[in-house]
Amino acid sequence: MTPAVLFEMLNLIASRTYTGVGDTFTEMVIRSGGAVLNVVLSAVFIFGLGMGVAGAGLGTTLSTGAVMIVLGWGMFGRSYGALGMEPSPVPISLSTPVIDPAIVRQLLEVSAPEIGRRLAQGFVIFPLLWIAASFGPVVVTALEVARRVRAMINSINWGMSLASSSLVGQHLGADEESEADAYGAGIIRLAMVVYLIVAATVILFASPIAGLFVSGSEEVAVTSTFVIVAAISAIGLGLDGTASGALVGAGDTRWPFVASLIGRYGFALPAALFGLVTPLGVVGLYLALVLESFVPGSINYGLFKSGRWKVVSRRYRPNGDASR
């Protein structure tokens, strides 16, 4: 799997480039095709050649590499012919300098806090699982099922958040701050409507969803409660994703990182620990699920409404002036 990590890094850069210029169709076709190829190759290696789990890893690596090659074709400005996909309008050129110190500086300024935010989001689950384990295997299973269901709901955010970043960034790049503000606010409103509808649907079918993963009336009851709480907390993730997406599109990644730390380590983790050492019990985990999404979401929405991100963006625009 190790080579696939390098391939996927390049794939993400290419995909975000296409998203940044408003072409999500090309990347969708290529990456979806790669997912199908992954299934086919893994089936051949596992069942046809008897390679077991190594076959699954090899299938993933080869399919991810294939996606990199096809995306790379368009990233160098080459046409895909009549397939409906477009070459990148900002193609890579081998004649440009390999290292541009100004770009490297901006890259580190913008990406380092975002890397920290993603790490903070991923690491917090380990202490939460340790706390859940104190209440027994049923609670651990219920928590993880709920988190997987929430992750499925939050797949909406991949589109909404990237659209927010892309459209806000495009209009800021064109020096249209009011348009960028309007697009960001509109996407946040749309996300809230969609998330409310999806969350309500999941809550309505919480018991059947829980029954897909566990058996026994007690296990289903515990898991369905966690699924309901996770669905509610997903609304906070929708707010967090779209609001932070607008901030990231402006190059303002520091405060979303701080908001993530506050929400997850200042509120969610203490709430779970409080349930561990008090009669609050499992309710502490319920609170942790809600707080880890709504606290950062509220902070990032407040930052978006403040308009500070417009000032930050001026540092990264062509001929930008942060003093304006």
- Asked if residue 296 lies in contact with residue 264, where contact means CB atoms within 8 angstroms, the answer is yes
The mean-pLDDT minimum among 54-68, 132-146, 155-169, 178-192 falls in 155-169
Indicate whether 158 pLDDT > 90.
no
Measured CA to CA in angstroms, residue 264 lies from 85, 119, 187, 272 at distances of 40, 12, 24, 10
Q: Kindly indicate the confidence band of residue 89, based on its pLDDT and cuts at 50, 70 and 90.
A: confident
Indicate whether 319 pLDDT > 70.
no
CA–CA gap between residue 14 and residue 19 (Å, rounded): 9
Ordered by start, the domain boundaries in the chain are: 2-75, 101-313
What mean pLDDT comes out for the span 79-93?
85
216: tokens are 């026994």
CA–CA gap between residue 19 and residue 10 (Å, rounded): 14
What mean pLDDT comes out for the span 205-232?
94
Residues 179-202 as b or e (16 or more Cβ within 10 Å = b): ebbebbbebbeebeebbeebbeeb
Type of residue at 148: R
- pLDDT for res 324: 47
Q: Kindly indicate the confidence band of residue 320, based on its pLDDT and cuts at 50, 70 and 90.
A: low
- pLDDT for res 232: 97
What mean pLDDT comes out for the span 39-61?
93
The CA-based angle 244-250-252, given to 5 degrees, is 60
- Asked if residue 255 lies in contact with residue 246, where contact means CB atoms within 8 angstroms, the answer is no
CA–CA gap between residue 29 and residue 35 (Å, rounded): 10
- pLDDT for res 321: 54
190: tokens are 């749309």
Measured CA to CA in angstroms, residue 238 lies from 82, 176, 222, 306 at distances of 37, 25, 25, 19
Residue-averaged pLDDT of the chain: 91
- Asked if residue 128 lies in contact with residue 143, where contact means CB atoms within 8 angstroms, the answer is yes
Indicate whether 239 pLDDT > 90.
yes
Q: Tens digit of pLDDT for each residue in 256-315?
A: 999 999 999 999 999 999 999 999 999 999 999 999 999 999 999 999 999 999 998 888
Q: Tens digit of pLDDT for each residue in 166-176?
A: 889 889 988 89
Measured CA to CA in angstroms, residue 220 lies from 34, 123, 144, 207, 216 at distances of 36, 27, 13, 7, 6
The mean-pLDDT minimum among 64-73, 76-85, 216-225 falls in 76-85
